[in-house]
Amino acid sequence: MIALGCDHGGFSLKQEIIAYLKEQNLEFKDYGCYNEEACDYPVYGKAVANAVVNKECDKGIIICGTGIGISITANKVKGIRAALCSDCFSAEATRLHNDANILAMGARAIGPGLAIKIVDTFLNTEFSGENRHKNRINQIED
Active-site position among 39, 64, 85, 88 = 64
Q: Binding site: which residues? A: 7-8, 65-69, 98, 108, 132, 136
Query: From residue 70, how far is each of 10, 19, 25, 76, 127 by CA, in Å?
Result: 10, 22, 26, 10, 23
In 3D space, the residue among 17, 1, 19, 42 whose CA is nearest the CA of residue 105 turns out to be 17
Question: Residue 58: helix, strand or coil by DSSP?
Answer: coil
> Is there a catalytic annotation at residue 64?
yes
> Is there a catalytic annotation at residue 57?
no
CB atoms within 10 A of CB 57: 22
Residues involved in catalysis:
64, 97
